[in-house]
Amino acid sequence: MLVLGIESSCDETGVALVDASGSGAPRLLSHALYSQIAMHQAYGGVVPELASRDHIRRVLPLTQEVMQGAGCSLADVDVVAYTRGPGLAGALLVGAGVACSLAASLGKPVMGMHHLEGHLLSPFLSADPPEFPFVALLVSGGHTQLMRVDCVGSYELLGETIDDAAGEAFDKSAKLMGLPYPGGPHLSKLALAGDGAAFKLPRPLLHSGNLDFSFAGLKTAVLTQAKKLGDELEARKADLAASTQAAIVEVLVKKTLTAMSQTGLKRLVVAGGVGANALLRSQLNAACRQRGIRVHYPELEFCTDNGAMIAMAAGMRLQAGLVNLQTLQGSYTFDVKPRWNLADLQLTPALAC
């Protein structure tokens, strides 16, 4: 059972092929990625129309590259999966349109996937995949959520951000400091040369007692601090970056540990772009080691958006029996869901985990 996955929800075009035969986790055969970061950098953020046009340019050559890499032909593909949402509407439409046309021309079924389910299941692409059940900390550019995951398709939201996402907090703070887009990796690199305790920044909702997050106030505090520094900002930028990162990471770690003790689970999965952050990883690793909790991350290249996680999530849904391919066969009408709660996927009939 070969599943082709296409990701185009934001500024990365990703294509991948997995083999979902057998009972083990689907096996990644080949993947290819094109990042539009350089193109958007001139504008300081993603320009949706440019993103859509670039996905059109990249998706078919990437698909050819993946098929060559796997030593397969398109005729070998059994199912075509694509990211149906959430994301930028125009960008999603490119992946959806290409996936459905491709599937129609091959006479194969097509599956519309949830981008966050892809991130959640991305650690199954690693050599040391997690076992269910686990708590997932999902930290991407648009989402910050804590989730209880009992099996494929069973996702219980434990808490989430009430305003900005953690990735957004990194990106917006970085922008205030004049760092290039996307800010997260640049800010964390600069932070290496700074002192995380140099500036006292707020830790929003740290003691709220629930598992919700809030990062909008932090960005304002960073702006206030930057203004206060004035001409000194340039010389103190590394300290401000380190202090911002320390504030974001402290909140993420504290809430995650609370989720672990509330659920009583001993496995944690960290997914999404911010999951690549070295300070977050080292602090979570240290805290979890003390508590006998195992932490799983996707490989660094699969932390940010990619096609492999979409092919993997589709393969795992098929293996779990959550999809009836017969009912999908021959249906090539599509829509996209720019806003889409992961909890709505629960509409799938629940299976015994």
Residues that bind Zn ion (CB under 5 A): 140, 305
Select 170 or 340, whichever has its Cβ closest to ligand KG4: 170
* Residues 296 to 335 in contact with ligand KG4, rule: CB under 6 A: 304-305
Q: Which does 225 bind (CB under 5 to 8 A by kind): ligand KG4, Zn ion, none?
A: none
Residue of the chain from 13, 36, 140, 145 that contacts ligand KG4 (CB under 6 A): 140
Q: Which part of the chain contacts ligand KG4 (CB under 6 A), choosing from 135-143, 193-201, 218-226, 307-315?
A: 135-143
Q: How far is the CB of 300 from ligand KG4 (least distance, A)?
A: 9
Select 103 or 155, whichever has its Cβ closest to ligand KG4: 155
User: Scanning the structure block, which residue is given the tokens 């340039």?
Assistant: 234
Select 2 or 88, whichever has its Cβ closest to ligand KG4: 88
Q: Which part of the chain contacts ligand KG4 (CB under 6 A), choosing from 27-35, 134-142, 216-224, 227-235?
A: 134-142
CA 275 – CA 279 distance, rounded (Å): 10
Q: How far is the CB of 280 from ligand KG4 (least distance, A)?
A: 7
Any contact of residue 184 with ligand KG4 (CB under 6 A)? yes
Q: How far is the CB of 271 from Zn ion (least distance, A)?
A: 9
DSSP 8-class letter at 75: G
Number of residues that bind ligand KG4 (CB under 6 A): 19
* Residues 28 to 87 in contact with ligand KG4, rule: CB under 6 A: none
Beta carbons within 8 Å of 317's beta carbon, 6+ residues apart: 111, 113, 152, 153, 323
**Where does the chain have alpha helices with state H?**
37-41, 48-70, 89-106, 115-121, 166-176, 183-191, 216-229, 233-263, 278-290, 308-319, 325-328
CA 220 – CA 224 distance, rounded (Å): 6
Any contact of residue 164 with ligand KG4 (CB under 6 A)? no
Phi/psi of residue 305, each to 5°? -60, 140
* Residues 269 to 298 in contact with ligand KG4, rule: CB under 6 A: 272-274, 276-277
Select 140 or 154, whichever has its Cβ closest to ligand KG4: 140
Q: Which does 7 bind (CB under 5 to 8 A by kind): Zn ion, ligand KG4, none?
A: none
CA 353 – CA 96 distance, rounded (Å): 30
Select 59 or 310, whichever has its Cβ closest to ligand KG4: 310
Select 268 or 270, whichever has its Cβ closest to ligand KG4: 270
Q: List, as own/partner pairs, every contact residues 174-181 make where C-beta atoms lie below 8 angstroms and the sequence separation is at least 24, other chains included.
A: 174/241, 175/44, 175/45, 176/219, 176/222, 176/223, 176/226, 177/222, 177/226, 177/233, 177/237, 177/240, 177/241, 178/237, 179/241, 180/41, 180/44, 181/37, 181/40, 181/41, 181/43, 181/44, 181/45, 181/46
Q: Which part of the chain contacts ligand KG4 (CB under 6 A), choosing from 13-21, 154-162, 181-189, 216-224?
A: 181-189
* Residues 142 to 161 in contact with ligand KG4, rule: CB under 6 A: 142
Give the closest residue to 90 by CA, choosing from 142, 130, 135, 55. 55
Phi/psi of residue 4, each to 5°? -95, 130
Residue of the chain from 167, 196, 204, 307 that contacts ligand KG4 (CB under 6 A): 167
Any contact of residue 14 with ligand KG4 (CB under 6 A)? no
Q: Which part of the chain contacts ligand KG4 (CB under 6 A), choosing from 54-62, 69-77, 228-236, 268-276?
A: 268-276
- Find the helix packing angle between 278-290 and 233-263, rounded to 10°: 30
Beta carbons within 8 Å of 258's beta carbon, 6+ residues apart: 211
CA 201 – CA 224 distance, rounded (Å): 10
Residues that bind ligand KG4 (CB under 6 A): 10, 140-142, 167, 170-171, 182-185, 188, 272-274, 276-277, 304-305
